[in-house]
Structure 1
Amino acid sequence: MSERGGPPQQPIIVRRVHRRGHGHHGGAWKVAYADFVTAMMAFFLVMWLIGVGTREQRAAISEYFRNPSLVPGNATLAPPGRMGPGGASDSAIKLGGAMDLPHGPGKDTRGAAAASVDGRTVEKEARRQEQARLQELMQQLRAAIQNSQALAPFKDQLLLDITPEGLRIQIVDKLNRPMFDLGSAQLKPYTADILRELAGFINRVPNRISISGHTDDAPYSSGNRYGNWELSADRANAARRALLDGGLQDAKIARVVGLAASVPFDKAHPGDPINRRISIIVMTRQAEAAALSQELADEDAAPPAATAGPAAASPAALPAASAAAAAAAPGVLVH
């Protein structure tokens, strides 16, 4: 009670609250959550890569993790490190008695193996697509031969098939319907019409073509040494000109050769008119590359013109050896 007799005064109480942070208000959980999200992202990324990869690529990845090594290339380390195929060490520290790790760039056999597998896969797919293109072209030609007014009358003289070199289109002679006059390289009008029709179909694919002329084995005598080799080469060249007249791109022609009677269609009857033919091959890329490499090899092997020795063979006789090789080994590219 106050001494002056006034009303009693209530004491003033001041409460000071000291706030302290609780555990769930910290930031440690964010770090853990970020690690979790990163791990899940990596997991789904790996699953996606496995899903889109080919069987060969998955095998290469599996081999990579099954046989790890800290040493690049084919280098191996001596015990006790046990580093190398099937026995990688769990540490990159140099162990006692072991070899030093090589410095500088080295050959990564795992990467080379994976690249090789991938290259083979790409090459196989490219070949498959090329074969599909040639098959489609053959079906289009067969349909055109049946439906075209220019080609239908001569369908028994047009032969189509797929060979190791590509799509082969052969225009053969008939007894009462020859493509050329006897001993001449002048195309009959119907033969020129057939070739002009074929040009538009050949332009539909990117492949280059090979044109070869063939004769029967009837001897061709001439005072100026003009024989079946020269005649078959001239007939092949006449076919080339007719294809160009039909709109064929000149760059699509890879070679024009005369093979005389060296590769008969009917081997049992070399004098049959069916052996007199023009053969057009829509070449695969592999066959084209083989032909080019063979030409380069022939050029490198050719002796200098000034060198003394036996008389050189005439250009028309050069395909004879290749034709004989093709007859002995079916499927070999005729050069």
Structure 2
Amino acid sequence: MSQQRPIIIRRKKVIHKHHGGAWKIALADFMTALMALFLVLWIVGTASNEQRESIAEYFRTPLSAAITGDGASSEKVIPGGGPDPIHAEGERARIDLKRQTRPSEERRRLRRLQQRIETAIQGDSSLRELRQQLLIDETREGLRIQLVDSERRPMFELGSDRVAPYMRDLLHTLAPLLNELDNRISISGHTDSLPYVNGQRGYGNWELSSNRANASRRELVSGGLDPDKLLRVSGMGDQLPLPDAPPDDPMNRRITLLVLDTEASNRIQRQGELWQLAERAPLPETD
């Protein structure tokens, strides 16, 4: 009888290890946040309007201001508030940049007026020759229309406020176009630096520029301009020559029509109100 080998069965012992509790921590955090959310919603739902404003003001307080104590003080239930100097100012800067790069509706209307004027001048054969003496550009105050003089074709008789016929036709053409907008208008007269015989003692460039501005005003009104649109008529003498032009250049003899934007118009009206208040104020008593 042969000797049999013993049968050895090897069994691998399986040890069930713990899978960890990270998911329990995440679930606990989620449930805590959810409970806090419902708690906040319940508090806000039962709070008064004043308490809600206080809560909103608290959350508007920038963290840097709350830590350093530079935030705006508040007398409400929850202290805080004030604009965020980082976020709000940045947003305001971006908005201001957009306003500078994107023309407003008023500016677009002024540009359309410029196109209408140029088209009207170009379409009139009798005024087409004056196009070189018509300078139109945009300024911070509005649309500026300058009617400049020349030795060959002066807008006024020499040393006089008598309007030349072609200047009258040009002003009569501009009048109905200026009526298309509600913007107020400023008219100023300018001269070159050539002095009169009597200098500053008699009739001179100040009087001449003022008289020419008023003569232009009369022609515009005669051409159909609404008189209520006029806000300012002034004579500047020879004090504001054209850029890069010698003081005695004939181009300095000009009439400037300024179609004012709303901001410039309001500023001029406020200045007039301040002058009226100053004139009505009683003089200080002296001993």
TM-score normalised by the shorter chain: which range applies?
Answer: 0.5 to 0.7
Aligned partner of 2:259 among 267, 282, 285: 282
Matched, 1:71 2:51: yes
Aligned to 1:228: 205
Q: 151, 168, 185: which one pairs with 1:192?
A: 168
Task: Give the 3 Å change call, closer, same or farther, for CA 304–69 of structure 1 in structure 2.
Answer: closer
For 1:128, the equivalent position in structure 2 comes to 104
The number of equivalent residue pairs is 207
Give the distance between the partners of 1:132 and 1:238, measured in 2 at CA.
30
Letter in 1 for 2:107: Q
What amino acid is the match of 1:241? R
Letter in 1 for 2:166: Y
Distance in 2, matches of 1:84 and 1:146, equals 60
Question: In the superposition, relative to structure 1, how do residues 291 and 71 fare at CA in structure 2: closer, same or farther (>3 Å)?
Answer: same
User: Any residues of structure 2 matched to 1:181-260 within 5 Å, and which?
Assistant: 181-222=157-198, 225-260=202-237
Q: Hey, what's the Cα distance between the residues in 2 that align with 1:206 and 1:292?
A: 15
Q: Does 1:149 align with 2:129?
A: no
Q: Given the superposition, is the C-alpha separation of residues 109 and 218 from structure 1 closer, same or farther in structure 2, using an over 3 Å criterion?
A: same
Q: State percent identity of aligned pairs.
A: 41
1:96-144 per-residue CA deviation (whole Å, 9 max, x = no partner) reads: xxxx988xxxxx999xx9xxx9xx99xx6xx711001001111111112
Q: Does structure 1 residue 85 correspond to structure 2 residue 58?
A: yes
Q: TM-score, normalised by structure 1?
A: 0.54
Consecutive unaligned residues of structure 2, counting only runs of 5 or more, are 1-47, 61-74
Distance of aligned partners of 1:179 and 1:268 in 2 relative to their CA distance in 1, 3 Å threshold: closer
- The amino acid of 1:168's aligned partner reads R
> For residue 271 of structure 1, what is the aligned residue in structure 2?
248
Q: Unmatched 5+ residue regions in structure 1?
A: 1-67, 77-82, 88-99, 103-107, 309-335
| Distance in structure 1 (CA, Å) of the matches to 2:205 and 2:136 | 25
Among residues 118, 122, 138, which one is paired with 1:162 in the alignment?
138
Q: Aligned-pair RMSD on alpha carbons?
A: 3.5
Shift in alpha-carbon separation, 1:176–1:299, aligned structure 2, 3 A: same
Contact 2:127 2:166 in 1 (8 A): no
Q: Distance in 1 between matches of 2:165 and 2:264?
A: 32
Paired with 1:307 and 1:69, the residues of 2 have a C-alpha distance of 52
Over 6 Å off, 4+ runs:
303-308
Alpha-carbon distance in structure 1 between the residues aligned to 2:146 and 2:209: 14
**Cα distance, 1:176 vs structure 2:** 1.3
Report the Cα offset of residue 300 of structure 1.
Answer: 3.5
The whole-number CA distance in structure 2 between the counterparts of 1:189 and 1:101 is: 72
Q: How far apart are the structure 2 equivalents of 1:299 and 1:152? A: 44
Letter in 2 for 1:71: Q
